[in-house]
Amino acid sequence: MSKVFIALQANEETRPVIEAIEADNPHAVVNREPAMVKIDAEHMLTINRESIEELMGRPYDLQELQINLITLSGNMDEDEDSLTLTWNE
């Protein structure tokens, strides 16, 4: 029922990140605005390092996300392989 979200600056670095999120979270809704992309998802959203790396063609550290992060909502859990946002209901 509750939606989690993450918003990223819209630029070349986040393009593959957003693509990976879309692929890994079919239930997510991607809203593209002039300077930012906000992704909403019911209950949970997962960002996978491997998916991003595949699209980027280079190793990716999930902490790099912080450079382009605008905001998020939900309980966050991060390890080296994935970042998840969830609401408990």
Partner 1 sequence: MTTTAANSGTTAKTPTAKSGAPGAKLNMKDRYRVMTRDLGWEPTYQSREAIYPYVEYEGIKVHDWDAWEDPFRLTMDAYWKFQAEKERKFYAIVDAHAQNNGHLHITDGRYLSALKIFLQAISPGEYAAHRGFARAGREFAGVGTQVACQMQAIDEIRHAQTQVHALSNYNKFYDGFHAFADARDRMWYTSVPRSFFDDAMSAGPFEFMIAIGFSFEYVLTNLLFVPFMSGAAYNGDLATVTFGFSAQSDEARHMTLGLECIKFMLEQDPDNLPIVQAWIDKWFWRGFRVLGLVSTMMDYMLPKRVMSWREAWNIYGIENGTALFRDLARYGIKPPKGWDDAEQAIDHMSHQFMLAFHQWNFGTSFHTWVPSDEDMDWLSEKYPTTFDRYYRPRWEHIKKLEAAGTPFKNVGLAQLCQTCQLPCVFTEPGDPTTLCHREVEYKGEHYHFCSDGCQDVFDNEPEKFIQSWLPMPHLFQEDLAGSVPDWMQWVGLINDTDNGEYVGSGDEQNFTAWRRQTTSNS
Where does this chain bind partner 1 (CB under 8 A)?
1-5, 7, 9, 33-36, 63-64, 66-80, 87-89
Which is nearer to partner 1, 2 or 23 (by Cβ)?
2
32, 65 Cβ separation under 8 angstroms: no
Which is nearer to partner 1, 22 or 40 (by Cβ)?
40
Find the helix or strand (DSSP H, E) in which 16 lies.
helix 15-24
Minimum distance from residue 7 beta carbon to partner 1 (Å): 7
Which is nearer to partner 1, 34 or 59 (by Cβ)?
34
